[in-house]
Amino acid sequence: MVVVMEERATEAQIEKVVANLVEAGMDVHRSTGVNRTVLGVVGAHKVDAALIEVMDGVHEVLRITEPYKLASRTFKPEGTVIQIDDVRIGGDEVIVMAGPCSAENEEQVFTTAAACKKAGAKILRGGAFKPRSSPYSFQGLGEEGLRMLREAADQQNMKLVSEVMDSSQIDLVGRYSDIYQVGARNMQNFTLLRELGRTRKPVLLKRGIAATIEEWLLSAEYILAGGNTDVILCERGIRTFESYTRNTLDISAIPVIKKLSHLPIITDPSHATGKRDKVAPMARASVAAGADGIIVEVHCNPDKALSDGAQSMFPAQFDRVMAELRIIAPAIGRSICVEPVVKRGWGR
């Protein structure tokens, strides 16, 4: 941290700031220029910069290191690869997670899972506990939904990611799912994050709808600080002034995260756009921008879906986007599942 004093700061004001910092255990290096005094502070993560900034004679306080540590690339220069049996997230391969927004019934879960697997998805997604904006909307099937999702994932030799909304659901969701999903609305549920830090299962941490990248990484830090090193970040669109799409996919978050953090990052073009015809272009853009994977909603009969039907792709659309990703991934030096593409009309 660097404290820049005002040009007219008095010696007494400077000494008071120095004394405060030293008292808080900092090392302070003072440099007196022609016009102002600048204080270089070492160990400043323990001090509240805002408290220093409001002291008399202080012009501004500049932070020069990130407030998160374990999540930062400075701390761990090589990228984290999360391994779940033979599935590696954050390695060379672009990993695709696909499935319905919610588990609704056995037929829907099994049919959709089979279609996702056939197209090349390695991880089945599906919610059993749904964070819905309205308390009157479908809230998910709970354990019954988890059971169906697990059975379908096993049948298709897929891994499963499913949302945990509350600390009290951790054991239950963990019994069925390979990856805990923390939804956008829960990104700053610090109790939940801390509890997940105590587990040893990977966590897919979605970015909050109005969260900065720094806040998002600080949320990841809560999980890492508990000893769980397997956090996957998911950019799922943020709320902006644009109302045409459900959210705005922040594609630039991909290279930003790659620079700031060693954690894998994927995107969710379904929740980002809210419209199924916009999902494929955003999935392509995500992979081209360096995402380690995507998570998309696919439904065997999306027009009848109990949640997020409008953004859920038909299986044929998903096949096609997978075929497109198979062209894009190698172009940027990545691989992607090479399962044979089901031949379908390209004009659809």
Encoded amino acid at 121, one letter: A
Residue 40 contacts ligand PEP per CB under 6 A: no
What is the C-alpha to C-alpha distance for residues 204 and 252, in angstroms, rounded to an integer?
19
Residue 236 binds which one of Mn ion, ligand PEP, none, with CB within 5 to 8 A depending on kind? ligand PEP
Cβ–Cβ under 8 Å, residues 244 and 209: no
Q: Which of 178, 268 has the CB closer to ligand PEP? A: 268
- Residue from 122, 258, 271, 320 that binds ligand PEP (CB under 6 A)? 271
183 binds, among Mn ion, ligand PEP, none (CB under 5 to 8 A by kind): ligand PEP
Q: Rule CB under 6 A: say whether 127 interacts with ligand PEP.
A: yes
CA distances from 298 to 24, 99, 207, 342, 344 (A): 54, 5, 21, 16, 17
Provide, rounded to whole angstroms, the least separation between the CB of residue 202 and Mn ion. 20
Report the largest interatomic distance among the alpha carbons of the chain, rounded to a whole angstrom: 78
- Residue closer to ligand PEP by CB (options 119, 238) is 238
Indicate whether 320 belongs to the interface with ligand PEP (CB under 6 A): no
Separation CA 159–CA 68 (nearest Å): 30
In the complex, the smallest distance separating the C-beta of residue 263 from ligand PEP, rounded to whole angstroms, is: 17
d(CA 278, CA 205): 23
- Give whichever of 296 and 329 is closer to ligand PEP, judged by the CB atom: 296
Q: Between 268 and 319, name the residue whose CB sits nearer to ligand PEP.
A: 268
Closer to Mn ion at the Cβ: 250 or 308? 308
Does residue 101 belong to the site contacting Mn ion (CB under 5 A)?
A: yes
236 binds ligand PEP (CB under 6 A): yes
- DSSP H helices, 161-309, are 170-176, 190-197, 213-225, 253-260, 269-273, 276-288
183 binds ligand PEP (CB under 6 A): yes
| CA triple 182-184-188, angle to 5 deg | 75
* Cα 19 to Cα 13: distance, rounded to the nearest angstrom: 10
Stretch that binds Mn ion, among 42-50, 98-106, 137-145, 259-267 (CB under 5 A): 98-106
Identify what 131 binds: ligand PEP, Mn ion, none; CB under 5 to 8 Å per kind. Answer: ligand PEP
Distances (CA, A) of 145 to 61, 139, 213, 270: 51, 11, 32, 21
Query: Mask: binding to ligand PEP, 84-113, rule CB under 6 A, as x and -?
Result: -----------------x------------
Q: Does 206 bind ligand PEP (CB under 6 A)?
A: yes
Q: How far apart are CA 101 and CA 269, in angstroms?
A: 13
Check residue 234 and report its DSSP letter. E
* Residue 163 makes contact with Mn ion by CB under 5 A: no
Residue 122 CB, nearest approach to Mn ion (Å): 20
Q: Would you say 236 or 299 has its CB closer to ligand PEP? A: 236
Q: How far is the CB of 109 from ligand PEP (least distance, A)?
A: 14
Q: What are phi and psi of 241, to 5 degrees?
A: -75, -15
Residue 308 interacts with Mn ion (CB under 5 A)?
A: yes
Cβ contact 129:169 at 8 Å: yes
The one segment of 56-64, 93-101, 321-329, 333-341 that binds Mn ion by CB under 5 A: 93-101
What distances in angstroms separate CA 66 from CA 133, 306, 321, one per listed residue? 33, 42, 37
Return residues touching Mn ion (CB under 5 A).
Answer: 101, 308
Return residues touching ligand PEP (CB under 6 A).
Answer: 101, 127, 131, 183-185, 206, 236, 268, 271
